Structure 1
Amino acid sequence: MGENSKIEWCDHTFNPWIGCQKVSTGCDHCYAEAMMDHRYKKVQWGAHGERKRTSEQNWKKPVQWNAQASTSRKENGHRPRVFCASLADVFDNQVDSSWRRDLFALIRECAALDWLVLTKRPENIEKRLPPDWRDGYSNVWLGTTAEDQVRFDFRWKRLKRVPAVVRFISYEPALGPLRLPQNGLLPDWLISGGESGAGARSLRPHWVRDVIADCRRLGVAPFHKQWGSYDSNPLVVEQGMTAREARAIDAEGKGGGLVDGKLVREFPRQNRRSLELRLRSAG
């Protein structure tokens, strides 16, 4: 539940508990449900399902990563990034509030790690943050998933009200076009990606190109993770290659990940508010 991650935009994943409930079409092929409920029978998914706290041994892993953070930063050139949580939702209604308090205490303790907290429930964030959140913790990036324009418009409107050193959008699985607003507050970072696995729904390459163009024009860092399936890869869709031919050219991530022959994998820059918060907490 806590491990070195194969996800391209983080170094570790940490799950303080497991279990969740589907909230929109992006959840229809949930890999966490398929693995934890259907395959391993760890928890029952859904409104009447369970939320199971992970082991004390698992909770100690971020402390270990925190102790090794200086070495990791020298080797990788950035502060270690922890995705929380891949098998649950931190702001889920059905999570024991004491578990969430314990999680934020752990996040405060592990100040050398950047915690990437991703939710499909941004409307719950404000009322479930710790009392000392104020302008945000210096080591917490808050994100929300948006699989199409409708979910982006609804969820970003709520996330942007919450103070955080970095706010980000996970446009994954991308199930419809998504364009960024031309004015107003914008996310700092946008991750895009197609759905993977059996029965993956298709992604149209121009959706990714369009939102990356928005990011470039508006100063948002774009990160294209993968096409999800070679059926969505532009080498197949637009150039008529077979999946095998496309894989020989583009083997980045599931279904390949090149956008017009290049990897687009940028991270948000350290902003002044993040540095100020770190100095304040250190002093």
Structure 2
Amino acid sequence: MPPGPLFRAERCSEPWSLVMGENTKIEWCDHTFNPWIGCQKVSPGCDNCYAEAMMDHRYKKVQWGAHGERKRTSEQNWKKPIQWNVQARTFKKENGHRPRVFCASLADVFDNQVDSSWRKDLFAVIQRCDALDWLVLTKRPENIEKMLPSDWHYGYSNVWLGTTAEDQTRFDSRWKRLKKVPAVIRFISYEPALGPVRLPTNGLLPDWLISGGESGAGARTLRPHWVRDVIADCRRLDVAPFHKQWGSYDNNPLVVEKGMTAREARVVDAEGKGGGLVDGKLVREFPGRN
């Protein structure tokens, strides 16, 4: 869709370190790649959007929202995946898996306010960089089918498609759409977890489920039993579970259930923001692909 009167799609020449994503601290991927930046809030999970807080409020790089901007990142940034692809064989030898690229952490690939030519360019890079696994996460699964390239067919072998689901309502509506789209891996990002989510006992299931609590100022509550319950569902239904973080020590079971102070809990559990252990163990599995 070409840029319309309600927003501006602009090119950006600045090689910001936050955008370029040479490496990342996100536990479930190795790199982040942002072909453009800018987005719009679509559901309660977006209320405390970290990307908006950084790129709009803090760095003043792009205006968020329906009447805001989508800025294409620099040509230098677009060359990064090509470099990672060249290095992929060495990376796998050293790390035991193909490099995983989260696309896009500061935008949404299936945002309908993005110039369609940019998305065409992105999928061309994805095809070229076939030694990378591309983790494409969206809050707009209703747009996926109409925005995929014409040669998608049964899915690109190196693209994992995911959607966020912060509660049962969002899971039910978004998974219903995502499961209809062919992909080698389909996944759910239950982050920020704002309510319980249970997996259906019949029908097609995601291959992978990431859970995590909200972090930062104004972070909302995550109940420990929500995470335990959905991990139990994953175990029973052969879905790979990955618990990223509790978000805040106020959510951590060591504090909520064991009565520790946040400082005491941090000593025992320093995995991720707010800790990440589930009953003393890290639960960080990936779907069956290396």
Q: Tell me how many residue pairs correspond in the alignment.
A: 271
Equivalent residue for 1:5, pick from 11, 24, 29: 24
- The one-character-per-residue Cα deviations of 1:70-129 (angstroms, maximum 9, x if unpaired) are 000001000000000000000001000000000000000000000000000000000000
Pick aligned residue for 1:238 from 257, 264, 268: 257
Hey, what does 1:77 align to over in structure 2? 96
Aligned to 1:57: 76
CA drift of 1:169 comes to 0.1
| Residue 167 (structure 1) shift | 0.0
Counterpart residue number, 1:191: 210
SS of structure 2 residue aligned to 1:229: coil
Of 281, 284, 289, 1:262 maps to: 281
User: Hey, what does 1:172 align to over in structure 2?
Assistant: 191
Structure 2: distance between partners of 1:30 and 1:209: 25
> Runs of 4 or more off by more than 2 Å in structure 1?
none
Other structure's SS at 2:69 match: coil
Question: Which residue does 1:222 correspond to in 2?
Answer: 241
2:182 aligned residue (163, 167, 176): 163
- Identity %, equivalent residues: 88
Shift of 1:270: 2.8
CA RMSD of superposed structures (Å): 0.7
Aligned to 2:162: 143
Q: Are positions 1:16 and 2:35 aligned together?
A: yes
Q: Which ranges of structure 2 fall in alignment gaps of 5 or more residues?
A: 1-18
Instruction: Tell me the secondary structure at the aligned position of residue 228 of structure 2.
Output: helix
- Aligned-partner SS, 1:38: helix
Match of 2:61 among 42, 48, 73: 42
Report the residue type matching 2:40 in the other structure: Q
Distance 1:104 1:89 in 2: 14
Distance in 1, Cα, partners of 2:24 & 2:93: 18
Deviation sequence 1:157-207 (CA, Å, 0-9, x none):
000000000000000000000000000000000000000001100100000
1:95 aligns with 2:138: no
Cα distance in structure 1, aligned partners of 2:48 and 2:92:
35
Report the 3-state secondary structure (helix = DSSP H, G, I; strand = E; otherwise coil) of the residue aligned with 1:167: strand
Q: Which amino acid aligns with 2:222?
A: L
